[in-house]
Amino acid sequence: MKTAIVIGGGIIGLSSAYYLSRAGWQVTVIDKGNRRNNCSTGNAGYICPSHFVPLATPGIVSQGLKWMLNSRSPFYVQPRLSWPLIQWGIQFMRSATAQHVQASARPLRDIAMFSMACYEELKKEPGFDFFYAHDGMLEAVQTAENAHHAQETAKIARDLGLDAEWLDKDGVKAIEPDVEMNIRGATWFRCDAHCNPEQLVQNLEQYLLKNGAVLQVDTEVTGFSKQNGAITQVQTDKGTYNADLVVLATGSWSREMAAKLDLSLPLVAGRGYSFLANASDFPLRRPVILTEGRVAVSPFEEQIRFGGTMEITPINTPPRYKRVEGIVQSARDFFPQLKLDQPKAEDIWYGYRPCSADGLPYIGRLQKTPNVIVATGHSMLGLSLGAGTGKLVAELAEEEVVSVDLGVFSPERFG
Ligand SMILES: Cc1cc2nc3c(=O)[nH]c(=O)nc-3n(C[C@H](O)[C@H](O)[C@H](O)COP(=O)(O)OP(=O)(O)OC[C@H]3O[C@@H](n4cnc5c(N)ncnc54)[C@H](O)[C@@H]3O)c2cc1C
């Protein structure tokens, strides 16, 4: 039996392991943590073809500089003399052009639609019973300028074949009658779905354990043995593993891991925070993005999750809970009836989004080390693109024709 070592047990690693296992590979997932310290459980759970605009956009740099002076703002870059950060920043600024946004829209739509189809299949499989709803998502705005921008974006979405419609405040009230919103209107992306990411991750882990895969936790990959241009063994702090195939799915730690394979993978960690509140007094029917606050709100049956902020900061920097005050303030401002207290520190989750230098994931087989497949750098879209990425990894492993053109996602595009 062919053996695959998947490094990283977040949504990308677990989805890759799932599809590889189904394709007949003997899979071992190695994770240096206990599978709960990654970015894949406390996120907002959006499965969102609506997000066809990459993180690197023309306005982001000037807006980011303004936000950096406010400790509650949704975006922050911790200034530091770090060559990888400077290198990433230069590449990010180079990518933040209108041409890049336009060129990325179709590839992002295609991989998101493919991934959503994978989730729709996955939820019907025996053993999978994660919460999943295809009720669309509202991108709500307060200012006239953002309303204008939202209407333009809804039009581009429709041109891309996505089901999206601008609703004024009364239109939003018609579909969310039980929740008062202090907004000008919202784009209703009917094309979007959302799920409970903890349940999804648990279901994937249970499937893998039941079907003969090994989940090796608290084990850190430290290096590789190579022979004739191929990886033969994966070295860890607990011993070595033989491998016919290696999948690199190490999220925000991928730059360092790629360097061990002589691959330059510009990537920084973008920390975000979230917390859960009781949904019984707040009967929101579908996810809402609070545009001006950059906050994502997700109803999951009895609970509702509020998440946001993008802090480009070294991993393991102590959390800055002031930023969570910004999330709470925005939520109160958008939902005047909502009774929401600042959560206690122990109830706040945070995770590190793996942010590539151009806002597009890195997915592909390495030309110089062909038995390595890279699947990382999904930034704000790792959950949305998770199942699809996993299936693409299995298609690459099986040397099949891939379901989505991976050209723009090449992991070797930065050299
Ligand atoms: C507040 C917030 C809200 C979000 N909402 C959404 C959303 O609604 N929709 C969406 O699509 N995305 C969302 N995201 C982004 C999404 O969560 C991430 O893109 C995704 O979780 C990344 O998954 P991953 O598997 O690449 O990385 P991770 O989940 O971080 O997993 C990487 C794993 O690799 C392991 N690892 C690293 N180095 C090593 C090593 N040397 N040896 C062994 N193991 C190693 C780590 O321990 C970790 O478990 C959100 C993120 C945040 C912070």
Give 40-56 pLDDT, tens digit per residue.
999 999 999 999 998 87
Query: Which ligand 1 atom is nearest residue 14's CA?
Result: 25
Ligand 1 mean position, distance from CA 185 (Å) = 32
Tens-digit pLDDT profile for residues 95-104: 889 999 999 9
Inform me whether the pLDDT recorded for 71 exceeds 70. no
Facing residues of 227 across strands?
230
**Which residues on adjacent β-strands are paired with residue 233?**
225, 242
Query: The tokens of 98 are what?
Result: 């209108």
Cα 139 to Cα 300: distance, rounded to the nearest angstrom:
18
* pLDDT for position 255: 97
Q: Which residue is closest in CA terms to ligand 1's atom 27? A: 251
Whether the predicted pLDDT of 37 surpasses 80: no
Report how far residue 359's alpha carbon sits from residue 382's, in angstroms, rounded to the nearest whole number: 11
Task: Give the SS3 label for residue 25.
Answer: coil
Mean pLDDT of 291-296: 94
Q: How far is the CA of 64 from the centre of ligand 1 (A)?
A: 23
> Quick check: helix, strand or coil at residue 157?
helix
Residue nearest to atom 44 of ligand 1 (CA): 31
CA distances to 54, 109, 163, 167 from 158, rounded to whole Å, are: 17, 12, 6, 14
Residue 122 has pLDDT above 90, yes or no: yes
Tell me, which fold does domain 3-409 have in CATH? FAD/NAD(P)-binding domain (3.50.50)
**For residue 84, what are the CA distances in angstroms to 7, 155, 248?**
22, 38, 19
pLDDT band per the 50, 70, 90 thresholds, residue 68:
low
Nearest CA to ligand 1 atom 31: 10
Structure confidence at residue 370 (pLDDT): 96
> Does the pLDDT of residue 286 top 80, yes or no?
yes
Q: pLDDT at residue 61 above 80?
A: no
| Ligand 1, CB cutoff 6 Å, lining residues | 7-13, 30-33, 37-40, 43-46, 220-221, 249-253, 257, 272, 274, 296, 307, 351, 353-354, 376, 378, 380-384
The whole-number average pLDDT for the span 240-261 is 97
Q: How many CA atoms within 13 Å lie on the side-chain side of 392?
A: 29
Q: Which atom of ligand 1 is nearest to the CA of 271?
A: 53
Whether residue 207 is predicted with pLDDT greater than 80 in this model: the reply is yes
CA-nearest residue for atom 16, ligand 1, is 382
Question: Which among 256, 383, 385 is the best mutation to test ligand 1's pocket, defined by most ligand atoms within 8 Å of the CB?
Answer: 383
Nearest CA to ligand 1 atom 37: 250
253 Cα: distance to centroid of ligand 1 (angstroms): 10
Angle separating helix axes 98-122 and 386-397, nearest 10 degrees: 90
Instruction: Give the long-range contacts of residues 289-292, CB within 8 A, separation 24 or more.
Output: 289/137, 289/138, 289/139, 289/140, 290/140, 290/330, 290/331, 290/333, 290/334, 291/139, 291/140, 291/141, 291/142, 291/146, 291/150, 292/141, 292/142, 292/143, 292/146, 292/330
Q: How sure is the predictor about 36, in pLDDT bands with cuts at 50, 70 and 90?
A: low
Higher pLDDT, 76 or 414: 414
Residue 235 or 73, more confident:
235
Nearest atom in ligand 1 to 221's CA: 42
Amino acid at site 322: K
How far is residue 251's CA from residue 248's CA, in Å, rounded to a whole number? 9
Query: Which residue's alpha carbon is at the smallest distance from atom 48 of ligand 1?
Result: 38
User: Distances in Å between the alpha carbon of 164 and those of 94, 159, 187, 190, 193?
Assistant: 30, 10, 7, 6, 13
- The 10 Å Cβ neighbour count of residue 34 is 10
Do the Cβ atoms of 257 and 7 come closer than 8 Å? yes
**Ligand 1 atom with the shortest distance to the CA of 40:** 21
Q: Is residue 80 very low, low, confident or very high in pLDDT (cuts 50, 70, 90)?
A: confident
Contact 268, 123 (CB under 8 A): no
Tell me the per-residue pLDDT of 299-313, one tens digit each, with 9 for 90 and over. Answer: 998 999 999 999 998
Distance, CA 350 to ligand 1 centroid (Å)? 10
Q: pLDDT at residue 363 above 90?
A: yes
Predicted local distance difference test score (pLDDT) of residue 63? 73
> What pLDDT score does 197 carry?
97
Q: Dump strand ranges (E) for 45-161.
A: 46-47, 75-77, 132-133, 137-141
Residue 275's pLDDT is: 97
The predicted-structure confidence for 124-174, as pLDDT tens digits, reads as follows 999 999 999 999 999 999 999 999 999 999 999 999 999 999 999 999 999
Q: How many CB atoms lie within 10 A of CB 211?
A: 13
pLDDT of 64 higher than 90: no
Residue 371 three-state SS: coil
pLDDT of residue 177 exceeding 80, the answer is yes
User: Do β-strands 267-278 and 303-312 pair in parallel, antiparallel, or remain unpaired?
Assistant: antiparallel
CA of 390 to the centre of ligand 1 (A): 14
pLDDT, mean over the chain: 94
For residue 308, give the ligand 1 atom closest to its CA: 1
CA 63 to centroid of ligand 1, rounded, Å: 25
Say what the pLDDT of residue 59 is. Answer: 75
Q: What is the pLDDT of residue 319?
A: 92
- Taking the C-alpha atoms of residue 209 and residue 215, their distance in angstroms, rounded to an integer, is 7
Percentage, residues of the chain above pLDDT 90:
85
Can you tell me which atom of ligand 1 is nearest the CA of 35? Answer: 49
Checking if the pLDDT of 65 tops 70, the result is no
CA–centroid distance, residue 369 to ligand 1 (Å): 24
Q: Is the pLDDT of residue 66 over 80?
A: no
